[in-house]
Amino acid sequence: MKIYNMKKVLFTATVDSHIIQFHIPYLKWFKEEEYEVHVATNGEEKIPFCDVKHTVSFERSPLKFNNLKAVIQLKKIIDKEKFDIIHCHTPMGAVVTRLADIQARRKYGTKVIYTAHGFHFFKGASVLNWILFYPVEKILSKYTDCLITINQEDYNLAKNKFYMKRLELVNGVGIDRDKFNFEMSQQEQQELREQLEIKKNDFVMIYAAELSKRKNQSMLLNTLKMIKEENNNIKLLLPGKDSMNGKYQNMAKQLNIEEQVKFLGYRNDIPKLMKISNLAVSTAKQEGLPVNLMEAMMIGLPIIATDCRGNRDLIENGKNGYIIKINDIDDMKKKILDLYKNNKIRERMKKNSKKLVKPYLLEEIIVQMDNIYKEIEKED
């Protein structure tokens, strides 16, 4: 029996940035529902709408000893607080949390929700990923009251292979319409282009993503090398943290496309960068449900993206963009040049992008999550 009248919820993730970037609207929702809101991460940042912050020794790697320590730390917190709902996120955050709260589900009636933002095992993933992560997720699904997936591939796998009490498909964490509620005059757009050394008649592509092997920017660089032989006016913006230690910048030099590529580093003005762009691209090898493409759809950009989980959930081939095979640089070149030459197709895709993004808006996702939270709490 719970001894406190005030309901309590705990959000867990390995790092603060995940909670801050994706889940503040849901912490706010719980505050408005008069819950005491707790957050547990391996960090010490102040988080809005959080009443109690717990620091737990989560590690992203499944092989780190600190994760065993984290299970013990979190179990003590759960036994003390006797939460009504625990909502866990990130792969190791969710593993540690569900190991720590196995007894709490039985003793205190705690309901455990796990949002999988993209399983590490997927079609085309390495054998090692399947060996490390699939058995663990399958076993821990027994201790999950509600598993939320954000793309069709993960949903189908969980439905056929896992044991959770309840399974939901939710369209991501929600894109905030207010973030895009701004006007940008032609003069402001031109000024931003000039700051980036982009000419008035340049055709601009944007791939807003961390520079990494998974995001596969090398495919774009090789494509741009081929395009340059025919057209010097096509430019590429690459805003995002560099996790490759300059490898892609060196590659651009070797391919002699330094003038065509703008490595921008981390930026907090992605919507404005998209406003001055003509086309959004993604060469990812795998995704959960990519925020960069949803944001591009909000702006109304046509999209060329690789045929991987997450990307294909958002792109209707030929309608709001094109889906191409991973590392097929010939097809990517063809599709880019087709859109460069055909403004009528770009305009049609622009309108379709704005229509197709509506189910992914925060206001829609909040309604879905409202229903899930309230129904889960009522279940025995």
CATH number of the domain within which 22 lies: 3.40.50.2000
- pLDDT at 2 (0 to 100): 46
What would the pLDDT profile of 295-312 be if each residue is shown by its tens digit? 999 999 999 999 999 999
Cα separation of 37 and 10, whole Å?
A: 6
Residue 2 lies in a domain: no
Q: What is the pLDDT of residue 228?
A: 93
Amino acid 92 reads M
Residues composing the chain: 380
pLDDT at 125: 87
**Bridge partners (DSSP) listed for residue 86:** 10, 112
Residues of the chain with pLDDT under 50: 1-3
Are residue 24 and residue 168 in the same domain, yes or no?
yes
Residue 67: inside a domain, yes or no?
Answer: yes
Instruction: Compute the distance between CA of residue 3 and CA of residue 246 in angstroms, rounded to an integer.
Output: 55
Residue 1, in any domain of the structure: no
Helices 343-356, 291-299: crossing angle, 10 deg rounding: 110
Q: Is the same domain home to 318 and 225?
A: yes
Question: Is residue 171 within 8 Å of residue 309, measured between CB atoms?
Answer: no
Domains in the chain: how many in total?
Answer: 2
* Alpha-carbon dihedral angle through residues 105, 109, 115, 121, given to the nearest 10 degrees: 20
- Measure CA of the first residue to CA of the last residue in the chain; give whole Å: 14
Output the pTM of the full model. 0.92
Domain hosting 193: range is 177-358
pLDDT in the model for residue 3: 45
Q: Which residue type occupies 176?
A: D
In this structure, the answer to whether residues 348 and 371 fall within a common structural domain is: no
93-109 confidence digits (pLDDT tens): 999 999 999 999 999 99
| Domain presence at residue 307 | yes
- Residue 352 CA to residue 356 CA, distance in Å, equals 6
Judge contact between 262 and 236, C-beta under 8 A.
yes
